[in-house]
Amino acid sequence: MADGGKLTEKTTISKNGNIPLYGNLNSGKGIVIGWLDIVTGNPSTDIVGDVAWHKSAAAGGTLYPAGFLILSDAYGSTFVKPATSTTRIIDLPVGTASFTGGNLPSDIENDIAIAENSSVTTSDANKLTMVFNKGTGAMTGTVVHPDGSPTIKFRGVALQKQKGAAGFFLGPTESGHVSVDGP
């Protein structure tokens, strides 16, 4: 989770393609709950839903010590391992990696190129590294803010149907959003 917590769930899918989502977080001082729907025949997504995520102030910690309540749309796509070592993990030869929130003094944007073997390069000066795991779809990396602040570690996932990726990084007191999108 983007507050540093972990969530795992085993559940069943209803006959109608609904997936209940429930997680007890922060030793009972937080919760994530919602419904996800499997969508068939949609060219841009496989999973959609509404999710509520609550962390009470009683949970404490350095991230969001006052707690929060987030109501959010959820979306996703199934991951299909690339057929060959020269097939991009996402169909995006060039794009932008954007970093927002997370106590950044200003947003960061990097122009990127994704080679056929899914290696990521940039000509921007802020030392972006980004790696896609072609077996799982996981995205990891680091970036340095242009003002020279400490290196930011981020992680996320490839969203193949959306032709991009999304993830998060942790700032001193709040999390930030990472997105990879086309031009």
Query: Model confidence over 76-130: pLDDT tens digits?
Result: 888 999 998 889 999 999 999 999 999 898 899 999 999 999 999 998 888 899 9
Residue 109 is part of which domain span?
A: 94-181
Do 106 and 160 lie in one domain? The reply is: yes
Within a domain: residue 172?
yes
pLDDT in tens, 18-33: 999 999 888 888 899 9
CATH number reported for the structural domain that contains residue 120 in this entry: 2.40.128
**How many domains are contained in the chain?**
2
Q: What is the CA radius of gyration of the chain?
A: 17
The C-alpha atoms of residue 21 and residue 52 are separated, in whole angstroms, by 10
DSSP class of residue 138 equals E
Percentage above 90 pLDDT, the chain: 58
- Residue 60 included in any domain: yes
Asked if residue 106 and residue 27 are part of one domain, the reply reads: no
Q: Is residue 134 part of a domain?
A: yes
Strands of 2-137, DSSP E = 18-25, 30-38, 47-55, 68-76, 94-101, 108-114, 120-122, 129-132
Is the separation of the CB atoms in 154 and 97 below 8 Å?
no
Tell whether 159 and 117 lie within a shared domain: yes
Instruction: Answer yes or no: is 25 within a domain.
Output: yes
87 falls within a domain: no
